[in-house]
Amino acid sequence: MNSAQWFERAEKVIPGGVNSPVRAFNGVGGTPVYFKSGKGAKVQTEDGTELIDFCGSWGPLILGHAREEIVDVVAKTAADGLTFGANTAKEAEFAELLTTLIPEMDMVRLVSSGTEAVMTAVRLARGITGRRKIIKFDGCYHGHSDYLLVASGSGLLTGGTSSSAGVSPAATEEVYVAPYNDLAAVQEILKANGDEIAAVIVEPIAGNMGLVEPAEGFLEGLRAATAEAGALLIFDEVINGFRLGPTTFGHSAGINADITTLGKIIGGGMPIGAIGGSKAIMSHLAPLGPVYQAGTLSGNPVAVAAGMKTLELLRDESPYLKVEILGKRLADGINRIAEEKGLDLHCAQKGGMFTPFFRKEAVHNLDDSKACDQKAHAAYFHHMLDHGFYTPPSGFEVAFVSAAHTANHIAAFLAAFEKLDS
């Protein structure tokens, strides 16, 4: 059966035919593609086609699909038992590795998803400060817990909404929203309501309204402003963590958030999330402290094994310079072709992350991102798909170059992009 036939079957038994909304292709139109297998930088579809993948399962596959060492350790670990709901030695070893690679982290708690990690981080901040409210940024996506679906990005933007039905008004009343990169707005909220604010949560590099980098001084300003107000600073590094180096972006930038959340890469393709911070912060979590968090599959041995092997490979092989070079070559090529063809777009890029924004002006926040031509992005998506390349099916997402990509893959991508209609 082909993708269309599988989607028709799925629609009868899965809401919208998908288990995550952006997969429905509502942002780009057409029938969703069904993947069958993947190896390195390529995936095979149920339609019998091979695609070069620049989505990478939305970020976890920085080493590419089915890296042999990771597959081997997953198989070996699974053979010894899929889950125990009890302690394993690997959990302690993984936590030791994370705290070594991220020196600001004294302790880490493993969970099963980025959403769960962020949900726990916010609860922890409230428990520590005794305050109820938080500040987040318009267009930043932090998972789908109620408090964080206020003015979200990612799939919610693709669906044309900034929140969700079913979210309690009481939850939204406890969230202040500021434009990303607007430090003055945060300072104003803290000045007026500082004694109510438990935390400011931010993606250090925004990745859910397309790739948007922090303005100079923005993150440093958040660090100073939260410290002055007695609020905690949470860095959501579910996308950023281990993306640009074998540590967090916060560590690389020299900005020490109070709580950091992780996911994606640290699971090597398996479901995982983590919350980390100083011993003083993390000791508030049960069973040491009064902030409760639990999970049957937290520290799942298969996910931990995959994540640990991934981080070891990233530490030992350090593919980051290669990924940066390929990412810059791709973005520079897109921008050159766009200029030559008179296309109204520019490609933002940082390391292996990139987003073609269909407007020439730089994108600094959600309003800028929403001003881009989403119909033009949809045409780009299908053009690249037809030429053998899979990119995120939404203009509000980040695409990824992995260590499995080669200079030939980049050259082929640019050759296909050059055929895009003006």
| Number of alpha carbons in the 13 Å side-chain half-sphere of residue 74 | 15
Answer yes or no: 90 catalytic: no
Give φ, ψ of 352 to 5 degrees.
-90, 5
Give the ranges where 111-242 is alpha helix by DSSP (H): 114-129, 155-158, 169-172, 183-193, 218-229
Structure tokens at 176: 């202040």
Distances (CA, A) of 384 to 66, 145, 307: 23, 34, 31
Report the distance separating Cα 114 and Cα 134, nearest Å. 18
User: Quick one: which H or E segment has residue 262?
Assistant: strand 259-263
Report the distance separating Cα 237 and Cα 265, nearest Å. 10
Distances (CA, A) of 201 to 133, 152, 339: 11, 12, 37
Give φ, ψ of 252 to 5 degrees.
-60, -35
DSSP calls for 4-28? HHHHHHHHHHSGGG-SSGGGG-TTT
Answer yes or no: 147 catalytic: no
- In the set 141, 176, 380, 390, the catalytic residue is 141
Pairing of strands 133-138, 175-179: parallel
Report the distance separating Cα 343 and Cα 110, nearest Å. 45
- In the set 264, 309, 350, 368, the catalytic residue is 264
DSSP calls for 191-226? HHHGGGEEEEEE-SSB-SSS-BPPPTTHHHHHHHHH
Answer yes or no: 370 catalytic: no
Torsion, CA 103, CA 106, CA 112, CA 116, rounded to 10: -100
At which residue do the structure tokens 């922090």 appear?
214
- In the set 138, 236, 258, 368, the catalytic residue is 236
> What amino acid positions are annotated as catalytic residues?
141, 236, 264
